[in-house]
Amino acid sequence: MSRNSLTKEFLPKHVSIIMDGNGRWANERNQIRIFGHYEGAKTVKRIVKEAHRQNIEVLSLFAFSCENWNRPDQEVKALFELFAESLTEQAKDLNSNNVKFNVIGDLSDLSAELQDKIKEVENVTSANTGLNLVVAINYSGRWDITNAARKLGEKVKDGSIDPSLINEQDFSEMLSLCALPDPDLLIRTSGEQRISNFMLWQFAYTELYFTDVYWPDFSEDDFRKALDSYCRRDRRFGLVAETPNHDKIV
Ligand code: IPE
Ligand code: IPE
Ligand code: MG
């Protein structure tokens, strides 16, 4: 892969990642699943740095879905301990690297302590102007859309919006990512080729990239390969491809 193709003009502004395969990575090493999650946390640190180096504006990471609560209690408990530890450990680094940190998802189900920690890191990094790092915890696309519908319903009820005038823009503004652009590129690791209830609304025109690499093994070079694949694609948004001159009818 030539790194020359990764010129800012063609790079995605927003890269989204479904970080998958931690459990299988650990199983293959005869380790418990949580060992894979701890290795996965190290990958997060590396990829955040690489995204920053590549001038990506927004990096959104799927860390825990609403459906992941149905995993064994021990794994869920260990995952939330890992979030808390990583936040404490990373807070200073994020700030000194000019990263703006945000969490999306239904935080009301999280412990008060973790909610406070998240708010604290969001506040400390709120004025930063570098990479926007968005971590989705207790997030699902259907939750986000339902939540937006509920908020719009409240506006209709208090008379601040006329239901017959609601448009896509109004709806988008009620979603978790409202102020940020939709993802240009979605990367999913571990060989699975599905969305798993991630950003259902925002992925309308996102380019999809699947790799067999498990998340703990996902390297900076793997990330650049995904960017390179994106840079070579022709995004049409429902229009027609650019026609070479000799094919033009008039
Ligand atoms: C992704 O890895 C992390 C979370 C969903 C929290 P998995 O834990 O899903 O790993 P696999 O897919 O079982 O290998
Ligand atoms: C998606 O991975 C959720 C996260 C990466 C947080 P899963 O491992 O939960 O997805 P499925 O169950 O394979 O679809
Ligand atoms: Mg998985």
Which residue of 17, 18, 19, 20 sits with most ligand 1 atoms within 8 Å of its CB, as the best mutation to test the pocket? 20
**Residue 17 — φ and ψ, nearest 5°?**
-135, 130
Task: Give the pLDDT of residue 245.
Answer: 54
Using CA atoms, how far apart are residues 111 and 201, in angstroms rounded to an integer? 28
Whether 64 is in the pocket of ligand 2, judged by its Cβ within 6 Å, is yes
**Positions marked catalytic:** 20, 68
* Residue 10 per-residue DSSP state: T
Whether 197 is in the pocket of ligand 2, judged by its Cβ within 6 Å, is no
Using CA atoms, how far apart are residues 7 and 174, in angstroms rounded to an integer? 33
Task: Give the pLDDT of residue 241.
Answer: 85
Place of tokens 């694949």: 229
Using CA atoms, how far apart are residues 246 and 216, in angstroms rounded to an integer? 49
Nearest C-alpha to atom 6 of ligand 1 is from which residue? 64
Contacts 24+ apart (CB under 8 A), 77-83: 78/34, 78/37, 79/34, 79/37, 80/110, 80/111, 80/114, 82/34, 82/37, 82/38, 82/41, 83/114, 83/137
Domain spanning 14-140+182-231, CATH architecture: 3-Layer(aba) Sandwich (3.40)
pTM metric for this prediction: 0.95
Using CA atoms, how far apart are residues 122 and 134, in angstroms rounded to an integer? 10
The H or E element spanning position 118 is helix 112-125
CA distances from 195 to 18, 120, 186, 227 (A): 8, 30, 9, 19
Minimum-distance ligand 1 atom for the alpha carbon of 65? 5
Nearest C-alpha to atom 2 of ligand 2 is from which residue? 20
Full pLDDT tens readout for the chain, 250 residues: 444 457 777 899 999 999 999 999 999 999 999 999 999 999 999 999 999 999 999 999 999 999 999 999 999 999 999 999 999 999 999 999 999 999 999 999 999 999 999 999 999 999 999 999 999 999 999 999 999 999 999 999 999 999 999 999 999 999 999 889 999 999 999 999 999 999 999 999 999 999 999 999 999 999 999 999 999 999 999 999 876 555 544 4
Using CA atoms, how far apart are residues 181 and 203, in angstroms rounded to an integer? 11
The H or E element spanning position 208 is strand 207-210
Compute the mean pLDDT over every residue in the chain, rounded to the nearest whole number: 94
Whether 12 is in the pocket of ligand 1, judged by its Cβ within 6 Å, is no
Which residue of 43, 68, 187, 215 sits with most ligand 2 atoms within 8 Å of its CB, as the best mutation to test the pocket? 68
What are residue 18's DSSP bridge partners?
62, 188
Task: Give the pLDDT of residue 7.
Answer: 74
If one counts every other C-beta atom within 10 angstroms of the C-beta of residue 172, the result is 14
